[in-house]
């Protein structure tokens, strides 16, 4: 027999609470494909960004919240390397963590979840790692160059939830996606326009387990399986130099968060 569940992926909110969280809070790093526009046959760069959101509930079930902030701080890594094969062809290899969340819930939030029929989770988190390869075919067009961009990436997924009934762990070691786009740049003026599409990724977490709390059920450690979708997106980026040493940059991004409502999983018992 299998116990089927649906875990709402609002890790930054509790279903029993009036406060809700925007799914956009799951967005983290982006692959550094901009390195393809850099001068040089071989270019490498990397960095880390530290984020401390410190979100907290103002009220829980109509009462003033006493819990501490639930959203945990995190690092966003980014590594990129460009290799130029000719004047018209180059490839970049990238690493980042595109999606993730990490939340620790206090006693008041846990009790509110249990009273509403939820899991009473004390902790939930998920993380993804993306390893990508993107290539650029370019050609002269007027004062600048047109760039045709495309590539593939491997993305993994890991989810953990510590709740009243036990501890759930789900993992998908490899799922694949792709990106493609078009760009135009005039290096003399530091001008660039780029439109990039990133595909959705379907995850089947076949490597999972649920460790029952013996005070709740005597089932011990059971296999668990899950599936869900991480969203597609389209991003438009624009930049231009306005004076020596000065540049204006802006971007707009659409992400299909509607596919990220829930993570479906089953537990064998």
Cβ-in-10-Å burial (0-12, 13-18, 19+) of 193 comes to: middle
pLDDT for residue 16 is more than 80: no
CA gap 70, 49 in Å, rounded: 20
Q: Which parts of 33-165 are beta strand (E)?
A: 42-51, 59-60, 63-64, 74-86, 89-96, 100-104, 123-141, 144-162
Residues 224 and 2 sit within 8 Å (Cβ to Cβ): no
pLDDT mean across residues, the chain: 88
More confident call, 199 vs 64: 199
CB atoms within 10 A of CB 140: 10
Rounded mean pLDDT of 10-27?
43
Could you tell me the residue ranges of all domains in the chain? Answer: 2-268
For position 268, what pLDDT does the model report?
75
Q: What are phi and psi of 110, to 5 degrees?
A: -60, -45
pLDDT at position 3: 52
Q: Is the pLDDT of residue 178 over 60?
A: yes
Q: What percent of the chain has pLDDT over 70?
A: 90
pLDDT tens digits for range 60-105: 888 888 888 899 999 999 999 999 999 999 999 999 999 999 999 9
Residue ranges of the alpha helices (H) in 116-257?
none
Q: Which residue has the higher pLDDT, 120 or 2?
A: 120
Q: Are 108 and 64 contacting, i.e. CB atoms less than 8 angstroms apart?
A: no
Based on the number of CB atoms within 10 Å of its own CB, is 23 exposed (0-12), middle (13-18) or buried (19 or more)?
buried
Q: At residue 167, does pLDDT exceed 60? A: yes
Pick the CATH number of 2-268 from 3.40.50.10170, 3.40.630.30, 2.40.160.60, 3.40.50.10470: 2.40.160.60
1 pLDDT band (50/70/90 cuts)? very low
Structure tokens at 261: 């409502």
């Amino acid at each position: 027999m299998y116990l089927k569940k649906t875990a709402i992926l609002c890790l930054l909110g509790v279903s029993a609470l009036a406060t809700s969280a925007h799914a956009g809070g799951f967005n983290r790093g982006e692959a550094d494909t901009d390195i393809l526009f850099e001068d040089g046959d071989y270019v490498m760069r990397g960095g880390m960004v530290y984020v401390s959101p410190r979100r907290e509930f103002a009220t829980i079930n109509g009462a003033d919240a006493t819990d501490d902030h639930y959203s945990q701080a995190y690092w966003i890594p980014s590594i990129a390397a460009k290799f130029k094969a000719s004047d018209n062809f180059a490839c970049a290899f990238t690493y980042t963590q595109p999606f993730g969340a990490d939340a620790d819930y206090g006693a008041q939030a846990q009790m509110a979840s249990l009273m509403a029929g939820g899991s009473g989770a004390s902790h939930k988190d998920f993380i993804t790692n993306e390893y990508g390869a993107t290539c650029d075919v370019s050609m002269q067009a007027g004062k600048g160059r047109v760039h045709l961009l495309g590539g593939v990436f491997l993305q993994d997924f890991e989810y953990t939830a510590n709740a009243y009934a036990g501890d759930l762990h789900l993992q998908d070691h490899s799922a694949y996606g792709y990106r493609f786009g078009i760009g135009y740049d005039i290096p003399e003026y530091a001008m660039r326009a780029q439109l990039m599409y990133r595909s959705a990724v379907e995850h089947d977490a076949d490597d999972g387990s649920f460790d029952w709390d013996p005070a709740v059920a005597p089932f011990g450690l059971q296999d668990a399986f899950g599936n869900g979708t991480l969203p597609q997106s389209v991003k438009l980026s624009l930049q231009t130099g306005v004076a020596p040493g000065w540049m204006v940059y802006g971007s707009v991004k659409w992400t299909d968060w509607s596919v990220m409502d829930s993570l479906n999983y089953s537990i064998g018992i």
